[in-house]
Structure 1
Amino acid sequence: MKLNKVSEQLCFGGKQIRFTHTSTALSCEMQFSVFLPPQAETQPVPALYWLSGLTCTDENFSAKAGAQRIAAELGIALIMPDTSPRGEGVPDDENGAYDFGLGAGFYVNATREPFTKHYRMYDYIVNELPQLLEAELPLSDKRAISGHSMGGHGALVIGLRNPQRYSSISAFSPICNPVNCPWGIKAFSGYLADDKSQWQQYDASVLLAIAQDPLPLLVDQGSADSFYPEQLRTDSLIAAAKQSAAPAEIRLQAGYDHSYYFIASFIEQHLRFHARYLCS
């Protein structure tokens, strides 16, 4: 087995498990968490991949979102990767900033040194991790993708670029238009240098505007989010959805902020949204 089990707890009749493994895509050891619902004891189950945001690890969503109860009811596995490569020899921001480097992989394949060897989170999420998990765990080949903030950006971009691999996309407070916000400009300049054509390949608003047959999409954004609208630019995603006539529901939730309290308030709706496509 290529997975090393670190911990396992019983949770709503299912199993909350943490693994490590050696990643070929990222050239380092990675950790991630999985929730397997009770149904996985007898049959392969579909999976929701959850991508977390800046400074997070694989444990933020598993501990704070309260998603396991509904996932157990619906028979959906939850896959929770880390947000960047880590370990000795993995380059970081020279000033230790929170929004670049460790904990801030932005789900891209870096093309700028010294990040090209390790910072290939796009390949890791799209290819390596699903191939590994579907070979080692009782998972079907039906997948959906979701995430928060930087991870919401990752979920939107990966789902839009790979509609054949996923059934549906959702996001909380995503970075919708990174080519036009401070977080995105800093990250893309660092990982992708000055080639703006590469930047656009990782911008959800650019991708959605030209999408031919986009997947069903649900996005929630809190009106009291301190990063809205400057960093998140939700209006750009709304305009893109109108341009492509995408099957998108983009909701502004009054009074909610950027925290996991917001995610916990609406995660059941997101899981039931994905279940319509994963479990049909």
Structure 2
Amino acid sequence: MDLTNVSQAKVFNGWHKQYQHTSSVLHCDMRFAIFLPPHASAAQPVPVLYWLSGLTCTDENFMQKAAAFQKAAELGIAIVAPDTSPRGEAVPDDVDQSYDFGLGAGFYLNATQEPWKTHYQMYSYVVDELPGLIEANFPVTSKRSVAGHSMGGHGALTIGIKNPEKYASISAFSPICHPSIVPWGEKAFRHYLGEDKALWKEYDAVELIKAHNVTTPILVDQGDADGFLDDQLKPETLQQAAKENNVPLELRIQPGYDHSYFFIQTFINDHLAFHASQLLND
């Protein structure tokens, strides 16, 4: 499989690198970023945290803004950040070029509707193709966890819940918890998946908790000054579903914090330590 190194920089004695490759799942060229901690080697491979970013983001937002590398280097965890949607001239976009649908807004699902289904297969890309590529080309183990922010928090929750054998832990900042009932999710699901709301449930964390026996530990942080809290995120629906189904969810409401990467910076070390407790536990 082709893999082109786009950039690299040493950081906290580890390496941040960007790569481009041709995705057979998304039918376009894709870019991802990886952080490798100092001791990562063929003789000492490390586990991986997959980070899924939110609307309008690329592989760069988390890597440049989250201030995660020092703690990841200390813990000995690699971090992989894919793009948030397929890209390229052949990839369809929202006709109105809205920020919340189309390019930059793949919602980590497999689209079933035209013209989206050829390229918008982000679920399969994140769950299958990308980890296969990472594990074949970098000094990492097959132990994985998944985390994300906003749309990416939705992705982390749904992907982690549906694949308990592949992810040791799940965390999210400000996730879209119940996308089937909020404007962002309704718009994306209607276009990507059609009008069959039974299919929507396959990509809705609240509905998945009701349908699956979830034993994977989950950590969620949510700021109470988040402008999207009441209309788009609805963490109380996730908390209620988790309580009713005995899911090991810790939801922390953080006073005064908004939806930004300043919020993520503040609590990212907690999330990395949370994942390390599962990934490094033999």
Question: TM-score with structure 2 length normalisation?
Answer: 0.98
Please give the secondary structure, in 2, of the residue aligned with 1:174: coil
Deviates further, 200-209 or 173-182? 200-209
Q: What does residue 132 of structure 2 align with?
A: 131
Residue identity opposite 2:27 in structure 1: S
For structure 1, the residue ranges without an aligned partner over 5 or more in a row are none
8 Å CA contact retained: 1:83, 1:105: yes
- State the distance in 1 between where 2:2 and 2:235 align: 40
Shift of 1:61: 0.2
Superimposed CA distance per residue, residues 42-95 of structure 1 (whole angstroms, 9 cap, x where no aligned partner): 411000000000000000000000000000000000000000000011000000
1:259 maps to 260
Q: Which moved more, 1:41-50 or 1:194-203?
A: 41-50
Q: Is the 8 A contact 1:210 1:244 kept in 2?
A: no
| Count of matched residue pairs | 280
> How far apart in 1 are the matches of 2:138 and 2:215?
29
User: Which residue is 1:62 aligned to?
Assistant: 63
Deviation at 1:6, TM superposition (A): 0.5
For residue 22 of structure 1, what is the aligned residue in structure 2? 22
1:72, 1:246 → 2: CA distance?
A: 30
What CA distance in whole angstroms lies between the structure 2 residues aligned with 1:170 and 1:189? Answer: 26
Give the AA of the match of 2:78. A
Moved more, 211-220 or 51-60: 211-220
* Map of 1:90 onto structure 2: 91
State the alpha-carbon separation in 1 of the partners of residues 112 and 36 from structure 2.
35
**Alignment-mate amino acid for residue 40 of structure 1:** A
CA distance in 2 between counterparts of 1:78 and 1:279 reads 14
Deviation at 1:212, TM superposition (A): 1.1
Task: Give the aligned partner of residue 178 of structure 1.
Answer: 179
- Which secondary structure state, in structure 2, belongs to the residue aligned with residue 78 of structure 1? strand
How far the C-alpha of 1:210 sits from its partner, in A, is 2.9
Instruction: Please tell me the residue identity of whatever aligns with 1:17.
Output: K
> Is the 2:161–2:214 Cα contact (8 Å) retained in structure 1?
no
Where do residues 156-235 of structure 1 align in structure 2 (5 Å cutoff)?
156-235=157-236
Tell me how far 1:211 sits from its aligned partner: 2.5
- 1:88 and 1:122 map into 2 onto residues whose CA distance is 21
Q: CA deviation at 1:214?
A: 2.6
CA-based RMSD of the aligned residues comes to 0.8
Matches within 5 A, 1:13-162: 13-41=13-41, 42-162=43-163
Indicate conservation of the 8 Å contact 2:189/2:200, yes or no. yes
Partner secondary structure for residue 140 of structure 1: strand
Runs of 4+ aligned residues of structure 1 deviating over 4 Å after TM superposition are: none
Matched AA of 1:153: H
What TM-score comes out, normalization by structure 1 length? 0.99
Contact 1:208–1:214 at 8 Å: present in 2 too? no
Deviations 1:133-156 (A, max 9, x none): 100111100000000000000000
**Residues of 2 paired with 1:138 and 1:24: CA distance?**
23
**Distance (Å, rounded) in 2 between the aligned partners of 1:98 and 1:190:** 14
Asked if structure 1 preserves the Cα contact closer than 8 Å seen for 2:223 and 2:256, the reply is yes
Identity of aligned residues (%): 58
> Residue type matched to 2:72 in 1?
A
Q: Aligned partners of 1:246, 1:203: CA distance in 2, in Å?
A: 15
Q: Which runs of 5+ in 2 are unaligned?
A: none
Amino acid in the other structure paired with 1:241: A
Structure 2 CA distance for aligned equivalents of residues 108 and 210 of structure 1? 18
In 1, the alpha carbon distance for the partners of 2:163 and 2:109 equals: 14
In 2: Cα distance, 1:258 partner to 1:213 partner: 27
1:35 counterpart letter in structure 2: F
